[in-house]
Structure 1
Amino acid sequence: MQHHWKELIAVDRYTVQSRGVLQEVDRKVLTLLYQPLIGCRALALYMTLWGELELLDGQEATHHRLMALMQCGLPDIYSERLKLEGIGLLDTYVHAKEADEPKLFLYELRPPLAPDQFFRDEMLSVFLHRQVGRHLFIQLSNFFARPSIDETKFTQVTRSFSDVFSAVPAEQIVAGLSEEAGPELLEGKDHIRRDEASYVLDDDVFDFELFFAGLSKQLVPRRAVTAKVKEAIKKLAFLYGIPPLEMQKLVLGVIDPAYHIDIDALRRAAREWYELEHGGVEPRLVERVQPLAYRTMENIEPRTKEEQLMKQLETISPRQLLKEISGGAEPSLADLQLIEDVMFKQQLLPGVVNVLIYYVMLRTNMKLSKKYVEKIASHWARKKVKTVKEAMELAKEEAKTYQNWANEKEKGTRTVRKVVRTEIVPDWLNMDYSQPDDDDFDVEQARKELEERLKKYRDES
């Protein structure tokens, strides 16, 4: 279990540096493009660290200072920090000292993507559209656009370096370097640099082994799948739910005779594929099902209730699960948005999210509490949970801790009742801890209702 206080406490020290010079346009990009994706608190943390960059000027401070500046607790700072890391705006390093000494954290701010990079990024641009709607998306896109100029109507007259500057004899260059710019001038320092901002998708979101296994090396040589192409394939597969065998066809359709894969053409092909598959409906993560590579019950006949539930959660989308739990009614937009945010920001697979939904529904009187869902999701993301089985086992192991999270803001005390089991239940839910806040809520009855609804869905499908 990775509690925030095991990784970070208030007396731990920190310092801030930047991966380059942050500019005014970065503030606009952060506020208008990133904020709808990460939320105002994560943006506030980034802007605070940006201010600290100049104020501290390389000095160290404790996290008490950060808590005072932001007027919030350390758990909030920690959870918002994870969002910044996940979307590629922050790199965090830690210098672990002696066991009884405070840690030293280095927070390295990464600049956001430039506007053109952001709107070319298939995943970020699509989810911005989902968050703000078509009208505001177009307004934001136009705000960061500039009139295009037809350069073919102009003749370039730019002079080269050698046209403007006279050559310097080599011996003078060498002498000058040895006398004036020795390496000792940069000892303990680095020149300011600026890399392209980026966020990372794990390789395991896409089965490249299967993808390459079905491709002829004569048609698509491995060298054609460059690092940029590979990253594009991962993002498109994650966004549109494109399986490896379908991705093979898309790549074959856009590779040219020189074995160059046009990433823009691949993006268009992916969108067209999705529109054909889903009738033009905008892609939604909540419609996904667990990838085959992460199903543990794919070719196994369930023998127990637990295995039956595992197989069910591996083959149903989070949206469909919410619908079945609601007795066939469409899930609320708030619930769908919460689950989609979790899938996008924490990069949890659909089957894992299904376990999260099932678990939270049982423990909180059939309600999806936003903070509770996000806290467990963040823990599972750090634990790199990928399968339904792993999620169920972790839910069982950490049951008491999760219940404490649910109760941590309670005021006063309440009577604790033990769960009375009247029938065999899935092993992963055989937990001995207090009931949810509502004393009238029967977790056993809720579990029965969930099983009945899911059984109805299995029978119909």
Structure 2
Amino acid sequence: MNYPWKNMSPKDGFMVRQNAQLSDIDQKVLTFLYQPLIGSNAYSLYMTLWTEVGEETYWSNGILHSELLTLLNIGIPELYQARIKLEAIGLLKSYLKSSQSDKVYIYELLAPQSSATFFRDDLLSLLLFETVGERKFKVLRSRFIISSFDKEKYEEITKSFLDVYHFDANLLKQEEKLLKESVELIGENPAKGPTVDAQTFDFKFFYTGLNKHYVNRSAITKELESTMLVLHTMYGINELDMQQYILEASDIDTGNIDERKFKSIVYRHYHDDKQEKVKLEDVVEKDIQANQNQNKNRKGYLRQQGLTDNEINLIEASEEISPYDFMTSIKEQKGGYVTKNEEWTLQEILSKANLPSAVINILIHYILVIRDNPIFEKALAYKISNDWAQNKVVSPEMALQKVKTMYQDNAEKKQQSQKKQYSNTASSNYGKNNKIRTETLPEWAKDGSVAKTEKPMSETEKQAFMDRLKKIQSFGKEGD
């Protein structure tokens, strides 16, 4: 399954742009009204991004996502989940610019709705009501209620602008060009609340059935239609039930609709039938759980294959990071950097070898770590990637098994080479110096020893030797 957060990397950079100033009241709205809807991770993400913005610049410096993950103490899936919650509720807009080597995000912070707008918004207020319950909903709303006074007992003596100020209209004309200059000011574009669409509700069918009754068609305003969509989305009310609820909330004489009564009827019917609160299902939460279960099962499978914890960690890392980031991380840990030639080599392997990214990461690890090469050697990378493509290496564990074989083969080749070198050196020293260091001689060559009778090999031993020789020769072909 392709999880959306797989496209994000801790090494991706981002900048924060502030769309509007946040007042003390805005912070209270965020804390008491939005936080129950979006959860602690999304709330912490919003407040953390806000603190990164510089005063009177309304922009942050460039930051890596790795710093954000450390501050919030969460992983990439949870960061993605928190981000899209803020987007869905109308607190954040996200933008992305991608290139071959890196990605840069811009997170634009939007101000929350005012408390008055929040409680008048059907979707936001109903979400809060269903999340915290009636008692807590009333407590939260009371935090933003202003005590009224009887204005009838007072005379308003407020002065108008022209009662207080006088100005030269000609001066206004002179500065008209400057005043009308096109610039974007902080708070100029107010944030919009979350909305629902009408894709699953057939208004044509709804009105066809409603026309047979006494309801005044003009009483169903655009605002009431929006309310109906919210109730349809929240409670799953179909067109026929919606007609019935509208009729119950309508005046039989005038045909007008009492909107407050309509909402109350819908709420009562739903909770009388269901006997439970509305549950907001987070689609990403399901994906995160599925991914965690998948990783747990996969880790168990890899252990059954005899892989160590370090090898499993390497496989997991290879599956989570892009090849370029994987190579960059290794190079940085070694104190080096990725060259242009290495980028081109990696790009060609990615485009031509048709190998999964995780498999290519194992190849990078083999060349740069196991073999301790300072660079991603072109010829060696092409040779191995060709071999793996032809042998259908489709998973990192298969690639790791290939690496083990190559490492073992190279070790045997090195051992054979050292033996050959030792033999040649001994022979050369004998020819030059005409003497042998006795401590290097075998027992049978020393003075006083009894010569051992050589016993010819049996046919079975000969065949075993020939098989081993062929194996060593085949290792040599596959080694470097």
TM-score of the superposed pair, with normalisation by structure 2: 0.53
Q: Residue 303 of structure 2 corresponds to which residue in structure 1?
A: 413
Residues 345-384 of structure 1 aligned to structure 2 (within 5 Å): 345-346=282-283, 373=286, 375=288
Q: Does 1:149 align with 2:149?
A: yes
Residue by residue over 1:318-357, the C-alpha shift from the partner in whole angstroms, topping out at 9 and shown as x without a partner, is xxxxxxxxxxxxxxxxxxxxxx231xx44xxxxxxxxxxx
Alpha-carbon spacing, 1:220–1:190, altered in 2? closer, same or farther (3 Å): farther
Q: Does 1:62 align with 2:60?
A: no
Supply the distance in 2 between the matched residues of 1:373 and 1:102 (Cα, whole angstroms). Answer: 29
Q: Per-residue deviation at 1:412?
A: 6.5
Supply the distance in 2 between the matched residues of 1:261 and 1:7 (Cα, whole angstroms). Answer: 52
Q: Per-residue deviation at 1:81?
A: 0.8
Supply the distance in 2 between the matched residues of 1:7 and 1:223 (Cα, whole angstroms). Answer: 49
Supply the distance in 2 between the matched residues of 1:81 and 1:18 (Cα, whole angstroms). Answer: 15
Q: Per-residue deviation at 1:134?
A: 4.4
State the secondary structure of the residue aligned to 1:247.
helix
Q: Residue 423 of structure 1 corresponds to which residue in structure 2?
A: none
Task: State the AA in 2 paired with 1:284.
Answer: K
Residue by residue over 1:406-433, the C-alpha shift from the partner in whole angstroms, topping out at 9 and shown as x without a partner, is 53676971379xxxxxxxxxxxxxxxxx
Q: Residue 161 of structure 1 corresponds to which residue in structure 2?
A: 161
Alpha-carbon spacing, 1:233–1:406, altered in 2? closer, same or farther (3 Å): farther
Residue by residue over 1:173-227, the C-alpha shift from the partner in whole angstroms, topping out at 9 and shown as x without a partner, is 221223x44627x3xx44432525411223324333433444549976689632x
Does the Cα contact within 8 Å between 1:13 and 1:60 map onto a contact in 2? Answer: yes
Does the Cα contact within 8 Å between 1:94 and 1:104 map onto a contact in 2? Answer: yes
Supply the distance in 2 between the matched residues of 1:69 and 1:126 (Cα, whole angstroms). Answer: 32
Supply the distance in 2 between the matched residues of 1:271 and 1:40 (Cα, whole angstroms). Answer: 30
Q: Per-residue deviation at 1:135?
A: 4.1
Q: Does 1:204 align with 2:117?
A: no
Q: Per-residue deviation at 1:11?
A: 2.6
Larger radius of gyration: 2
Q: Per-residue deviation at 1:128?
A: 3.2
Supply the distance in 1 between the matched residues of 2:128 and 2:50 (Cα, whole angstroms). Answer: 23
State the secondary structure of the residue aligned to 2:22.
coil
Work out which of the residue numbers 76, 84, 87 in structure 1 matches 2:86: 84
Residue by residue over 1:361-400, the C-alpha shift from the partner in whole angstroms, topping out at 9 and shown as x without a partner, is xxxxxxxxxx9735379xxxxxxxxxxxxxxxxxxxxxxx
Q: Per-residue deviation at 1:34?
A: 2.1
Residues 14-413 of structure 1 aligned to structure 2 (within 5 Å): 14-54=14-54, 57-95=59-97, 97-98=98-99, 100-166=100-166, 168-169=168-169, 171-178=170-177, 180-181=178-179, 183=181, 186=183, 189-193=184-188, 195-216=190-211, 225-226=221-222, 228-248=223-243, 250-251=245-246, 265-276=258-269, 279=272, 284-285=277-278, 340-342=279-281, 345-346=282-283, 373=286, 375=288, 404-405=294-295, 407=297, 413=303
Residue by residue over 1:72-117, the C-alpha shift from the partner in whole angstroms, topping out at 9 and shown as x without a partner, is 222221111111112222121223x33x132222212222232233
State the secondary structure of the residue aligned to 1:93.
strand
Does the Cα contact within 8 Å between 1:240 and 1:270 map onto a contact in 2? Answer: no
Does the Cα contact within 8 Å between 2:18 and 2:59 map onto a contact in 1? Answer: no
Larger mean Cα displacement after TM superposition, 42-51 or 71-80: 71-80
State the secondary structure of the residue aligned to 1:341.
coil
Supply the distance in 2 between the matched residues of 1:143 and 1:410 (Cα, whole angstroms). Answer: 51
Task: State the AA in 2 paired with 1:373.
Answer: K
Supply the distance in 1 between the matched residues of 2:14 and 2:153 (Cα, whole angstroms). Answer: 54
State the secondary structure of the residue aligned to 1:79.
helix
Does the Cα contact within 8 Å between 1:372 and 1:405 map onto a contact in 2? Answer: no
Supply the distance in 1 between the matched residues of 2:202 and 2:240 (Cα, whole angstroms). Answer: 10
TM-score of the superposed pair, with normalisation by structure 1: 0.55
Q: Per-residue deviation at 1:229?
A: 3.4
Higher helix content, 1 or 2? 2
Does the Cα contact within 8 Å between 2:90 and 2:191 map onto a contact in 1? Answer: no
Alpha-carbon spacing, 1:247–1:413, altered in 2? closer, same or farther (3 Å): same
Aligned-pair identity (%): 29
Alpha-carbon spacing, 1:44–1:277, altered in 2? closer, same or farther (3 Å): closer
State the secondary structure of the residue aligned to 1:54.
coil
RMSD: 3.9
Supply the distance in 2 between the matched residues of 1:150 and 1:115 (Cα, whole angstroms). Answer: 23
Gaps of 5+ in 1: 286-339, 347-370, 378-400, 417-461
State the secondary structure of the residue aligned to 1:101.
coil
Number of aligned residues: 302
Alpha-carbon spacing, 1:135–1:191, altered in 2? closer, same or farther (3 Å): closer
State the secondary structure of the residue aligned to 2:199.
helix
